[in-house]
A and B are shown apart, each in its own frame.
Chain A
Amino acid sequence: MPDGALPVLNVRDLKTVFQTRGGEVHAVNDVSFSLKPGELLGVVGESGSGKSVTMMSLLGLLPSPPADVRGGTVMFDGKDLLCVTQEELRSVRGGKIGFVFQDPMTSLNPVYQVGFQIMEPLRKHMGMTKRQATARAQELLELVGIPDAKRRLNDYPHQFSGGMRQRVMIAIALACDPQVLIADEPTTALDVTIQAQILELMKELRDKLGMAVIWITHDLGVIAGIADRVMVMYGGQVVEHAPVKELFNDPQHPYTRALLKTIPKIHGGRAARLTIIEGQPPMMTGAPTACPFRDRCDVAFDRCAAENPPRYDLGEGHDAACFFDARTGGPRDA
Chain B
Amino acid sequence: MLDATKKPLVSVKDLKMHFPIYAGLLRRRVGEVKAVDGVSFDVFEGETLGLVGESGCGKSTCGRAVLRLYDITSGAISIDGREIGATPQTALREMRPTMQMVFQDPQASLNPRMTVENIIKEPLDEHTKLSDAEKREKVGELMDAVGLNRKFAKRYPHAFSGGQRQRIGIARALALNPKFIVCDEPIAALDVSIQAQVVNLLEDLQEQFGLTYLFISHDLSMVRHIATRVAVMYLGKIVELAPRDGLYADPLHPYTKALLSAVPEPDPSLARSTQRIILKGDVPSPSNPPEGCNFCTRCPSVMDICKRVEPEYREVHPGRFTACHLYNDTIDTAGSTAGHEAEGHTQ
B279 touches A (CB below 8 Å): yes
Q: Which of A163, A197, A258 gathers the greatest number of chain B CB atoms within 10 Å? A: A197
Give the complex CA separation of A283 and B272 in angstroms: 37
Q: Is the CB of B276 within 8 A of A196?
A: yes
Give the complex CA separation of A223 and B264 in angstroms: 8
Q: Mark A66-81, 1 if CB is under 8 A from B, else 0.
A: 0000000000000000
Q: Is the CB of A161 within 8 A of B282?
A: yes
Give the complex CA separation of A277 and B191 in angstroms: 11
Q: Mark A224-257, 1 if CB is under 8 A from B, else 0.
A: 1100000000000000000011001000000000
Give the complex CA separation of A221 and B258 in angstroms: 16
Q: Is the CB of A200 within 8 A of B276?
A: yes
Give the complex CA separation of A162 and B55 in angstroms: 10
Q: Mark A180-213, 1 if CB is under 8 A from B, else 0.
A: 0000000000011111110110000000000000
Give the complex CA separation of A265 and B223 in angstroms: 10
Which of A106-114, A267-275, A320-328 participates in binding chain B? A267-275
Q: Is the CB of B196 within 8 A of A274?
A: yes
Give residues 262-282 of B contacting A (CB, 8 Å). 262-272, 276, 278-279, 282
Give the complex CA separation of A225 and B199 in angstroms: 26
Give the complex CA separation of A191 and B258 in angstroms: 12
A276 touches B (CB below 8 Å): yes
Kindly list chain A residues whose C-beta atoms are within 8 Å of the C-beta of B260: 266
Which of B90-98, B99-107, B171-179, B214-222 participates in binding chain A? B214-222
A218 touches B (CB below 8 Å): yes
Q: Is the CB of A225 within 8 A of B347?
A: no
Give residues 310-347 of B contacting A (CB, 8 Å). 346-347
B138 touches A (CB below 8 Å): no
Kindly list chain B residues whose C-beta atoms are within 8 Å of the C-beta of A219: 264
Q: Is the CB of B268 within 8 A of A277?
A: no
Q: Least Cβ distance of B170 to chain A in Å?
A: 16
Kindly list chain B residues whose C-beta atoms are within 8 Å of the C-beta of A264: 221-222, 224-225
Give the complex CA separation of A4 and B218 in angstroms: 42
Give the complex CA separation of A158 and B271 in angstroms: 33
B43 touches A (CB below 8 Å): no
B161 touches A (CB below 8 Å): yes
Q: Is the CB of B203 within 8 A of A193?
A: no
Q: Least Cβ distance of B216 to chain A in Å?
A: 14
Q: Is the CB of B279 within 8 A of A269?
A: no
Q: Least Cβ distance of B306 to chain A in Å?
A: 18
Give the complex CA separation of A265 and B221 in angstroms: 6
B120 touches A (CB below 8 Å): no
Give the complex CA separation of A162 and B276 in angstroms: 21
Q: Least Cβ distance of B187 to chain A in Å?
A: 11
Kindly list chain A residues whose C-beta atoms are within 8 Å of the C-beta of B220: 192, 266
Q: Is the CB of A276 within 8 A of B200?
A: yes
Partner of B263, one of A258, A260, A266, A270: A266
A46 touches B (CB below 8 Å): yes
Q: Least Cβ distance of A162 to chain B in Å?
A: 8
Q: Mark B178-216, 1 if CB is under 8 A from A, else 0.
A: 000000000000011111110110010000000000000
Q: Is the CB of B278 within 8 A of A200?
A: yes
Q: Is the CB of A262 within 8 A of B196?
A: yes
Kindly list chain A residues whose C-beta atoms are within 8 Å of the C-beta of B80: none
- Count of A-B residue pairs with CB < 8 Å: 126
Kindly list chain A residues whose C-beta atoms are within 8 Å of the C-beta of B248: 266-267
A59 touches B (CB below 8 Å): no
A53 touches B (CB below 8 Å): no
- CB-CB under 8 A for A244 and B54, given A161-B282, A200-B278: no
Q: Is the CB of B264 within 8 A of A193?
A: no
Partner of A224, one of B161, B195, B268, B347: B268
Give the complex CA separation of A219 and B188 in angstroms: 13
The total of chain B residues at the interface (CB under 8 A) is 43
Q: Is the CB of B264 within 8 A of A277?
A: no
A259 touches B (CB below 8 Å): yes
- CB-CB under 8 A for A262 and B266, given A192-B218, A200-B276, A273-B200: no
B110 touches A (CB below 8 Å): no
A1 touches B (CB below 8 Å): no
B143 touches A (CB below 8 Å): no
Give the complex CA separation of A145 and B114 in angstroms: 49
Partner of A193, one of B54, B161, B192, B199: B54
- CB-CB under 8 A for A270 and B225, given A221-B266, A265-B265: yes
Q: Is the CB of A263 within 8 A of B265?
A: no
Partner of A263, one of B192, B282, B347: B192
A144 touches B (CB below 8 Å): no
A297 touches B (CB below 8 Å): no
A281 touches B (CB below 8 Å): yes
B241 touches A (CB below 8 Å): no
Q: Is the CB of A244 within 8 A of B268?
A: yes
Of all chain A residues, the one with the shortest Cβ separation from B201 is A276
Q: Is the CB of B282 within 8 A of A225?
A: no
Q: Least Cβ distance of A40 to chain B in Å?
A: 12
Give residues 276-315 of A contacting B (CB, 8 Å). 276-277, 280-281
Give the complex CA separation of A40 and B214 in angstroms: 40
Kindly list chain B residues whose C-beta atoms are within 8 Å of the C-beta of A275: 196
Give the complex CA separation of A110 and B221 in angstroms: 35
B259 touches A (CB below 8 Å): yes
Give the complex CA separation of A234 and B332 in angstroms: 54
Further pairs besides A219-B264, A259-B192, A265-B224: 18, Cβ < 8 Å: A191-B218, A192-B264, A193-B258, A195-B262, A197-B279, A221-B221, A221-B264, A222-B264, A225-B265, A244-B268, A245-B269, A262-B193, A262-B195, A266-B260, A266-B263, A274-B199, A277-B193, A280-B194
Shortest 5 CB-CB distances between A and B: which pairs?
A221-B264, A191-B54, A225-B271, A196-B262, A264-B225
B residues touching A (Cβ–Cβ < 8 Å)? 54-55, 161, 163, 191-197, 199-200, 203, 218, 220-222, 224-225, 248, 258-272, 276, 278-279, 282-283, 346-347
Question: Can you identify 23 A-B contacts, CB atoms within 8 angstroms?
Answer: A161-B283, A163-B282, A193-B262, A220-B266, A221-B263, A221-B266, A224-B270, A224-B271, A225-B264, A245-B269, A248-B267, A262-B195, A263-B221, A264-B225, A265-B267, A266-B248, A266-B265, A270-B224, A270-B225, A271-B225, A275-B196, A277-B193, A280-B163
